[in-house]
Chains A and B, each alone.
Chain A
Amino acid sequence: GEDVEQSLFLSVREGDSSVINCTYTDSSSTYLYWYKQEPGAGLQLLTYIFSNMDMKQDQRLTVLLNKKDKHLSLRIADTQTGDSAIYFCAETPDSGNTPLVFGKGTRLSVIA
């Protein structure tokens, strides 16, 4: 079955870069997503990457995909206190018509 693994905690200083890592098991994943969840709130889509890409940049966010190793990372440049949240990696095991499979989330703490 599908499985998505993430480290549970990350702490960085304000202004530094944060790198959140994720590994997945389903090699047929078509899209991989990053969501952000603030306390008591729903999930906010940050970005996604198509499986035939190895990098995607969107303002302060850079997503790197190593399909051979099934490894995905999210880099946040110039991390701010407002970036403190839980970040979830998710995959779609198949293209279309399938629910997302999420990791347990990485709690990012930004120290001022």
Chain B
Amino acid sequence: DTGVSQNPRHKITKRGQNVTFRCDPISEHNRLYWYRQTLGQGPEFLTYFQNEAQLEKSRLLSDRFSAERPKGSFSTLEIQRTEQGDSAMYLCASSSDSDRAETQYFGPGTRLLVL
């Protein structure tokens, strides 16, 4: 049984560069969420998908951020023109709407450092 996987686990980039992260959810899960966690804080919601449809985006998701889930399976999160304030852990979670509690299962995260 494979859980949620995320790649890469770590990314160091220079300010102004673009980065892309990938999330592979649990295979039967139709919902996929992206969160961002900064030091000393709890995860904060960025966006989520039901199948391939992006249903909600947080005000935290600036125009430099874009997320896709083209076939309703894996998802990518791209950050363009990275800024030092983008340094954080980016967490992906998935859930199934057939689960009454709609429990979200998290991946190990991608830690981004923008120099």
Residues of A within 8 A of B (CB): 4, 31, 33, 35, 40-45, 48, 50, 88, 90, 92, 95-97, 99-105
Contacts and interface: CB of A to CB of B under 8 A. Distances in A.
Contacts of A88: 42-43
Interface of B: 4, 6, 33, 35, 40-45, 48, 50, 55-56, 58, 91, 93, 97, 101-109, 111
Contacts, number: 60
Contact of A104 (B6, B40, B108): B40
A42 B102 contact: no
Given A102-B42, A104-B41, A105-B42, A44 B101 contact: no
A97 B32 CA distance: 10
A42 B103 contact: no
A42 B108 contact: yes
